[in-house]
Amino acid sequence: MKKINSIIFLIIIAIFSNSCIDIIDLDLDTTEPRIVIEAILDATDSTCTVTATFTNDFYDSTENEIVSNLDITLTKNNNEKIILTQNPEGKYFADNIIAEKNDEFRLSVIDSSGTEYLATAITPSYPRSVAIPGFGQIPFLTVFSQIPNENATYTDSLGNVKKIMFALVYWLDKPDEENYYRFKVYENSKYINDSYNFIDDQTSMSEDTMQMGLSSFFIEGDTVQVELLSINKATYEYFQQVMDVQFSGINSTTPYNPKGNFSNEALGYFCIQQSVMQEYVVMELPINP
Amino acid sequence: MKNLLTIFFFNIILLTTITAQKYTISGYVRHESSGEELLYSLVKVENQKYGTSTNQYGFYSLTLPKGTYNIIYSYLGFRPDTIKIDLKKNITKNVSLYKLDKEIDEVIVKGKNSDKNVKSTDVGVLDLNVKEAKLIPVLMGEQDILKTMQLMPGVSASSEGSSGFYVRGGDSDQNLILLDEAPVYNASHLLGFFSVFNSNAINDLKLYKAGIPARYGGRLSSVTDIRMKNGNMKKWAATGGLGLISSRLTIEGPIKKDKASLIISGRRTYADLIVKNARKKYEDLTLYFYDLTIKTNLVISNNDRIFLSAYMGRDDFGLDQFGFDWGNKTATLRWNHIFNNKIFMNTTAIYSDFNYGFKFDFNENVIGFGAGIFDYNLKQDYTWYLNTNNSIKFGWQSMYHSFKPMAFEVIEDNPDDTLNNFQDTSLTPSYALESSLYLSNKQKIGKKITILYGIRFSIFNNIGPSTVKTYNENNEIIDSIKYSRNEIYNTYHFFEPRINANFLINDKNSIKASYNRTAQYLHLLSNSTASSPTDMWMPSTPNVKPEIGDQFSVGYFRNFANNKFELSTEFFYKNLHNQVDFENGADIYFNPDVESQILSGIGRAYGAEFLFRKTTGKLTGWIGYTILKSERKFDQINYGDWFPARQDRRHDFSIVLSYQIFEKFNFSGSWVYYSGDAVTFPVGKYYIDGVLVNLYSTRNANRMPDYHRLDLGLTWTIKDSKKFYSDLNLSVYNAYNRKNAYTINFIKNDDTGKTEAERLALFGIVPSITWNFKFK
């Protein structure tokens, strides 16, 4: 809704005003660094990766400092303990974690001063697969179409004219449970983070068929990977807030810090996800699911 | 409180029966050439303390001891008229005033300027003359009375170019805007750049910033009472204007001379047509607004008049398969009845709505969704001119609100599509009844003191069908109770005392004070910084309490040089209760449990206003200054500490001048300056999923850069004869091209990887030209 308002607003400005966008020098306050924890337990490939950094000043052009010497422990269903160890890149890691649907994990992060940041999450279920004639049993179907505009083409460095496409994904929702989904797009295995694709099963078009338009554009002939993630509710809500404060444009809300599931005012989130990836060569398909 | 008032009124009645023989002179004061009523014009007895003014319908009544009097009728911009009356019975006297002719009246007017500024009980009240507003330079040449109002102290534009406004540190949804007594829920077009009021159709505007009379209620901060023209009773006339982005046309005249009149006024923008032809990119674009007002006015007898007025305005936006439109509709049916020359009654039936809708094509289906508020309103107002020292106003009002929150509909269904399984996520409508009773008296005590005191009792009922939910602190539903159709399931009521007092030191100096309590039962759901038509009104409910405000105001008023100059200084303090804000990340659009995300807090605002004004002569204008502090406090925000409200603009200065250079040329200019809004800037940054996220600390701890802007205007009267008038208006908005920040975004530059503060300035220099005409 806010996006719609922003778009109309921008068009009105484009028509009626001689607006101007420029970069200004603005003094900003600074604050003590705060800890940011991004923790992802991938139940499908049985790994847990935790990245911890400090916030820095807004105009600081150096990379955010990685927080080392943390004691990070994962506790499964209140008994089994798993210790994460820091790798040379500064990330904390553990593998061979068996996480099944409804398993509860508690992540404890203790810093050198003894402060503990705690987060709890429940393992979501693995996405349902669907049988499509001609495709077999697949987790989801991605359909690429040219953007309905005659100019939606791209000319590459060799002078080839290629279509610019958008993608719709279709999959099946698991009935009788609350599900939250996310799609990630990779180009040549590199994750494209310029847009987010999150959806809950409340916004489905019908009872169990889910449909979503991905917010990235694709070039005909490219090889891309599309990943479907089934995520826990806290992560879904956390990213809704991130989008709310960072992407809402002109019609912005009063700014705030997205609140994740960590205790003690730690920024960031602890996500448990199930993941499945499909690779595509981008082309128009003559089917309509 | 109630008992005291009863005793008081009894005393007054007793007093009247034992005093000497008195008679009443009453009637209407009108514009000579059009028959239009002159609202709030002055009626004074020469060389005596007696006097009154016409009410909001142009009616006056003055009761005097038997005798012979010279009665002076005056109205700003009109030639005063003195009429000799031999009062030995009750008399009806309708008076017509002639418009000032500059050459003839230069001498006559001298020494007879209005001393209303000093003598009325009005505290924190602004009278805006539509004529005066016409000369002030405006954005894109589109005259806008709400924007002129923003140049006065205590009133401030909510953002650049916007017709939304803040009054004395209140929120923008705390302003009641009435058009011919019908509430207007969204007073702006094109997301705020133009107000919905077509200046050609407006007769009068009065803004109450404090001392709100008991007959008004429903909002905390202010009341803007706008009256449409009634239409020319004498002859047919046409007024209009051609501008760069819009045109206006008003036709008015008598259906039957002196008995019935009709006025039709319309306006439409056409900027999209120009853009469409100029740029292929916008070929499929629709973007315009229009508004239409119609009013008819019937004189049934000397004592009865009927008015029917209607307003309709709509904005329409469309691009490819997407459409969005929104607008207001109001209709007012009014019956003015004079019982005898002392009691004036007005009965009004009102319909008012605001709604918006979206529509888009999806797999050959057309899906729409939208929301709205619909009101049915019945009220009666009585004015009882008891005697020279007391005039009593009383009345009642009952308003039925129906709130339609976000609802879906399938406009065109494609039977081959999966949409048959479409999940309807429409929210359920809600209903409420808002009623009130009021009683007030304006009493003169001796020669020096006038007091306007009154009380309003307001009551608000939530009406079923409804499901009332109880939420725990995690916003989960822990209980819900269902209520059936027409069942009253929740009631709020408040006594709202109002008092204004004027102590006249002498003819040129007065001190005034006021206190008023106001209750607001409707809240605007908006959590964005810019105003938007999708901001929707919702009622108070068992979970969301009504907003309450108390305001104390005291002022010193002084006129100089035969009332040529007016000076006023006012101080105010406001206490606000049950203020509304939202939890972080609240979803206010498709959320059936939006109530659970509403926070309740308190607020306070205090400050001072200064106004120096010159109303007559070749040079007119004013200098206004406001110093203000406005704060809010919510348990869940800022660790429960006080924080500045967005509109906490410490200094707000404006100067408006209009100068008649030559007979045919009028030059005008306005300059505004205000301190930046309170906003929240980042204090740091971090990355989530590789994306920049700003780190914030305290709410509204930072300030936008200061705002200032100069507008210039030149009006050339091309022709002004008996039959035809035309002028050309040139205006320049933001004459020295100040880049005022509309928003500041904190972003990462993808090319350099640096984090930067990016300013959006909406308007550079905007010149415009408008041609106005009038067939008289």
Test mutation, A1, A229, A237, chain B, max B CBs within 10 A? A1
Q: What is the radius of gyration, based on Cα positions, of chain B? A: 27
Q: What's the CA gap between B219 and B548, in Å, rounded? A: 9
**Residue in A29, A244, A268 closest to B688 by CB:** A268
Chain A residues touching residue B762 (CB < 8 angstroms): 13, 17, 19
Contacts of B371 (CB under 8 A, 6+ apart): B355, B356, B404, B405, B406, B407, B534, B536
Give tens-digit pLDDT for B355-389: 888 887 766 677 788 888 999 999 999 999 888 88
**In terms of CA atoms, which chain B residue is nearest residue A195?**
B691
Q: B312 has which bridge partners?
A: B292, B329
Phi and psi at B109, nearest 5°, equal -70, -30
Q: Which residues of chain B make contact with A193, given a CB cutoff of 8 A?
A: 689-691
Mean pLDDT value across chain B: 86
* Pick from B423, B701, B762: CB nearest A19: B762
How far apart (Å, rounded) are the C-alpha atoms in residues B288 and B611?
37
CB pairs under 8 A between A and B: 216
Quick check: B291 and B267 in contact, CB under 8 A? yes
d(CA B468, CA B491): 13
Among A98-112, A223-237, B104-118, B537-551, name the one with the lowest average pLDDT. Answer: B104-118
Ramachandran region of residue B341, left (φ > 0), alpha (ψ -120 to 50) or beta?
alpha
Structure-model confidence comparison of residues B748 and A84, the more confident one: A84
Asked if A10 is an interface residue toward chain B (Cβ–Cβ < 8 A), one would say no
User: How far is residue B632 from each of residues A24, A218, B86, B643, measured CA to CA in Å?
Assistant: 30, 48, 59, 6
Q: Is A3 on the interface with B (CB under 8 A)?
A: no
Comparison of pLDDT for B332 and B1, the residue scoring more: B332
Residues of chain A neighbouring B760 (CB-CB closer than 8 A): 19-21, 250
With beta carbons under 8 A apart, name residues in chain B contacting A53: 686-687
Distance CA A73, CA A42 (A): 16
pLDDT of B26-50, one tens digit each?
889 988 888 888 888 888 888 877 7
Nearest to B688 among A23, A242, A253 (CB): A242
Name the band, by pLDDT with cuts 50, 70 and 90, for residue B702: very high
pLDDT average, residue stretch B514-538: 83
Q: Could you tell me which of B494, B492, B412 has the C-alpha nearest to residue B460?
A: B492
pLDDT at position B224, please? 93
A21 interface with B at CB cutoff 8 Å: yes
Q: Cβ neighbours of residue B340 under 8 Å, at least 6 residues apart? A: B90
Task: With beta carbons under 8 A apart, name residues in chain A contacting B758.
Answer: 21-24
Chain A CB contacts of B692 below 8 Å: 246
Residue B159 pLDDT grade (very low, low, confident, very high; cuts 50, 70, 90): confident
Classify residue A249 by its DSSP letter.
Answer: G
pLDDT, one tens digit per residue, over B623-681 is: 999 999 999 999 988 889 999 999 999 999 999 999 988 888 999 999 999 999 999 89
| Per-residue model confidence (pLDDT) at position B103 | 45
Say yes or no for a CB contact (<8 Å) between A17 and B418.
no
Nearest-CA distance B691 → chain A (Å): 7
Task: Pick the range with the lowest mean pLDDT from B145-149, B247-251, B331-335.
Answer: B145-149
The answer for B635, left when phi > 0, alpha when psi is -120 to 50, beta otherwise, is: alpha
The more confident residue out of B122 and B314 is B314
Residues of chain B with pLDDT > 90, as a percent, come to: 44
Interface touch A241/B358, C-beta < 8 Å: no
Chain A residues inside the 8 Å CB shell of B705: 24, 26
CA of A285 vs chain B CAs: smallest distance (Å)? 17
Q: Do A241 and B317 touch (CB under 8 A)?
A: no
Give B396→chain A minimum CA distance, Å.
39
Q: Which whole number is the average pLDDT over B452-468?
A: 94
- State the pLDDT confidence band at B282, using cuts at 50, 70 and 90: low
B623/B612 Cα distance (integer angstroms)? 5
From B412, B189, B408, B405, select the one nearest B321 (Cα to Cα). B412
B466/chain A closest Cα distance in angstroms:
22
Which residues in chain A show pLDDT less than 50? 287-289
Answer whether residue B530 shows pLDDT above 90: no
Confidence of residue B286 (pLDDT cuts 50, 70, 90): confident
Under DSSP, the state recorded for B676 is P
pLDDT at B421 over 70: no
Give the nearest partner residue to A20 out of B589, B590, B739, using CB atoms: B739
Residues of chain B positioned with their CB less than 8 A from the CB of A250: 530, 742-743, 760
Q: How far apart are CA A123 and CA A104, in angstroms?
A: 6
CB distance A15–B282 less than 8 Å?
yes
Taking the C-alpha atoms of residue B776 and residue B584, their distance in angstroms, rounded to an integer, is 57
- What pLDDT does residue B207 have? 92
Mutation for testing the A interface, residue in B272, B693, B748, B768 having most A CBs under 10 Å: B693
Q: How many CA atoms lie within 13 A of A43 on its CB side?
A: 24
ipTM of the complex: 0.91
How many of the other CB atoms lie within 10 Å of CB of B502? Answer: 24
Contact call for B695 and A22, based on CB within 8 A: no
pLDDT in tens, B557-606: 998 888 889 999 999 999 999 999 888 777 777 788 888 889 999 999 99
Report the pLDDT value the prediction gives residue B5, as an integer from 0 to 100. 52
- Min CA distance, B57 vs chain A (Å)? 39
Collect all residues of chain B within an 8 Å Cβ-Cβ radius of residue A271: none
Q: Closest by alpha carbon to B721, among B664, B769, B665?
A: B664
Highest mean pLDDT among A92-106, B51-65, B176-190: A92-106
DSSP states of B37-84: B-TT-EEEETTSS-EEE--TTSEEEEEEESEEEEEEEE-TTEE-EEEE
Question: What tokens appear for A204 in the block?
Answer: 């489905």
pTM, whole model, 2 decimals? 0.86
Which residue is closest to B528 within chain A, CA to CA? A253
